[in-house]
Chains A and B, each alone.
Chain A
């Protein structure tokens, strides 16, 4: 069944209150979020290689939609839902996952796939209620490939790496689009918005910007599933995904843990085992 048909049936049978999916965008290379409340509206849903957004954001952010929510979910987006279930932000029964097979997405008119798609190992979501189409074969997880982009940065001498990041952060205007687009950045009060005491300076100067990106990366350690939304929405083209990738790599090397794989697993930073690596505790 096409995702439209699935959405229509779900709304007709009232199994869900709304379906969140994609519809045609107003400009080339973009798709628009569509929140359908009636079966008729479901006809407008589409799914193609421009369906970049991680719609799991609508489970945690901003506007509370009536539950249960039908959601268009790609493989990478499903990892987010796993994370949200692990962290008790979403109940499994409140989300009806319309699984979508995805061979990579793009925002570029020349069709070049996003970086994350080149090393994707979840073309078919691992978690769904209904899958549109037949599951497609998967590429195995390859650590060396996965972190290739990061290795280029890590190979830089420390001064050069510092200069690279300071130049990148220099562009930051502190719009917090990275936070707002992140489905796992769901704190009701963000640390950067706290004023008494003020932990992180909100001004877009070197100290403020460094502190902000630093703390966000730490807060996502072992949690970020690498959907890449922060980097996609950053109009200043700051390679934010690299920061999260660095944390993911550390967590993988220390604990052999990959975020967004197992909803029953305990995230390593909330868990303790006797055999945990302790070399960094002095």
Chain B
């Protein structure tokens, strides 16, 4: 991994990206909410020291909340199907956290399992991720419990870290990152190795919740598809799916056809396993008819099924589900609790 010293500060770096004509997506305040959006001016960005994480993860730039996939129309009573070509441009997402970047290598597997999702893959190829290492964490963060660190480069094309003097360093961690770096050599200077490693990243790691015993959790889940613990969680869960919609690794979608007169679009929309209609069969039967079964699905998918299939945990410890849960049903507490007592709290 090549390391470059930035001759500018963070904001000026964003400015240079914009000046050179890059499409830049960065955390910005939109209608009172911290979201990733395309920016036109550096004044729109929120500086990394002012946020722990954005409300929504960066996944929507590869896997949009809603997107057309097929176009169809009736001409002379004949159905005509047309591939829908998404407009995908090269863009740079800057300011995402290591937990968000690390989500992409995890969900790459499912979007390329059996069927290769052209929409996801095209966006993935055209998007450069510039991650910013975390100098702070809050009570919901638990990245170190699932194999990520506040300064991990996994999934990033470029990782930005500060040295103790406050200068930024760019770690080009992929070919894409390397290519971008080569376009900006006037503001970057290659160095051999970072000598004054900033202790702040270690300190941040110490702030996040202590490691989960992933093997023990997996072992418990393997044996406890039926367990009264699920009833306890199901009874508390409102089934609001905030967790799934904010999660950087949740990837389930629904396919719907929307039509006006004789023309329509088939769309791929975010969906969540917490909804009763998610598994409702056309016969009327619903295999996950109650909330405890739906909550169990969420935990099982994250810590067992995905692990069985891809040998990965479907969680990067970003903590969004914990921050957003209206009843404080805390997944960290749940999975650390079940291994100890069968029922947490």
A residues lining the B interface (CB < 8 Å): 23, 25-28, 30-35, 53, 57-58, 61-63, 65, 167-168, 170-171, 173-177, 180-181, 193, 195, 198, 201-205, 208, 229, 232-233, 235-238
Contact = CB atoms under 8 A, between A and B. Distances in A.
Contacts, number: 129
Contact of A181 (B244, B246, B326, B328): B326
Contacts of A195: 256
Interface of B: 30-33, 35, 55-56, 65-66, 138-140, 232, 234-242, 244-246, 254, 256, 258, 267, 269-270, 272, 275, 277, 290-292, 322-324, 326-330, 332-333, 345
A interface, over-half SS: loop
A215 B128 CA distance: 40
B68 to A, nearest CB: 9
A57 B238 contact: yes
A27 B322 contact: yes
Contacts of A63: 234-235, 237, 290-292
Contacts of A233: 240, 242, 324, 326
Contacts of A236: 33, 55-56
Contacts of A177: 238, 240-242, 245, 326
B328 A26 contact: yes
A180 B139 contact: no
Contact of B66 (A33, A167, A198, A203): A203
B256 A173 contact: no
Given A65-B235, A175-B241, 12 more contacts: A30-B328, A62-B234, A167-B30, A167-B31, A180-B239, A181-B326, A202-B256, A203-B258, A204-B65, A235-B242, A235-B245, A235-B246
B31 A35 contact: no
Contact of A33 (B32, B56, B290, B328): B328
A23 B329 CA distance: 12
A33 B327 contact: yes
Contacts of B269: 174, 202-204
